[in-house]
Amino acid sequence: MEEPPEQPPPPPAPAADGDPAAGPEWSIPPNAPACMERHLEGAHYRADGALLLGASGLSGRCWSGSLWVFADPQRAPSEGFCTAGVQTEAGVADLRWVADRGILVASDSGAVELWELDENETLIVNKFCKYEHDDIVVTVAVLAGSTQAVSGSLDFCVKVWDLPQQTVLHSYRAHSGSVACVASCPDKDTVFLSCAEDGRTLLWDTRCAKPATRIVCSACNHLPTSVMWHPQKSDIFALGDENGTVALVDTKNPDSALSSTVHARRITGFAFSSHSSPLLASISEDCSVAVLDSDLSEVFRSRAHRDFVKGLSWSPSDNALLTTVGWDHQVLHHTVPIPTGETSGVNCVKE
């Protein structure tokens, strides 16, 4: 008699919860998109180390976008390991944390949007979507106190928002070109900066009858593209231009600016570190990341990105860790040399 064929062995039992053999859990949260768009536009850490990402799909007839939060930034941009995610109506041009749960978004649709994480931080829900601009909103910043924000658009306008009331407090048309960047002053809730394609950098104080003052910096001879306030000195800000020049500008004496040609193409963003003498990280359309000391001397350079670098943020738990994102869909974590006399934050945590 012919013997029956050999039966395959039974499949192994699934690993129990908490079993190391189970590995990390891959599970897309409710309402999160199944796929993240290719072009990563921004990255920002929250104080507890959660990483916020904004993504855009800039191909095809309709530009799409999405927001993502990762409790474990090392898992980004893997959709299945996000804490929360949501599809947006259009591409995400810029975004910022508002306090601990709010997310302010500049949209390619021309809207300024406010989103919020729910109590369990598994859902991102829309609080408002306002079409006050007449063109793409390219930049947003949250003012000190987190109840007001400022936006800048291709319509040449700068607008100041009351976030709890969901209204525009002030609308200014002081620029004669598309606004490239706005930046809030760390300790003054009425003061911010803007720069635009009209070649002008403006210092704003909304308490004044004429709120805008032009800052003329001879060190930057090309169109300004990015501004960022120094975290410890309220009169100093970083200015970047389309030629790759970085300058540290004193608002009281702009002609004394310290400058250096750091990149070969347009500066797309800045971030100051939390060191006692903060390092300045810059990113560019030359696909590189640079970190500079207070003299604008280079202490770190990475050319690992393969497309425009669009977002950067220093880790709040390790001040030697800089995270960058770009249109190549990469989320890169760079270890930056620690300045003399500083200690990496990750080594200062008590066990």
Predicted confidence (pLDDT) per residue in 73-113, tens digit: 999 999 999 999 999 999 999 999 999 999 999 999 999 99
Q: Give every CB contact of residue 81 below 8 A, 6+ residues apart in sequence.
A: 24, 26, 70, 72, 75
Q: What DSSP string describes 175-188?
A: -SS-EEEEEE-TT-
Segment 47-73 shows an average pLDDT of 93
Between the two ends of the chain, the Cα-to-Cα distance in Å is 69
Question: 191-247, pLDDT tens digit by residue?
Answer: 999 999 999 999 999 999 999 999 998 888 899 999 999 999 989 999 999 999 999
pTM across the whole model: 0.89
Beta strands 298-302 and 92-98 are: unpaired
Q: What is the pLDDT of residue 317?
A: 94
Q: Which residues, at least 6 apart from 180, have a Cβ–Cβ distance to it below 8 Å?
A: 138, 139, 152, 195, 196, 197, 223, 224, 225, 226
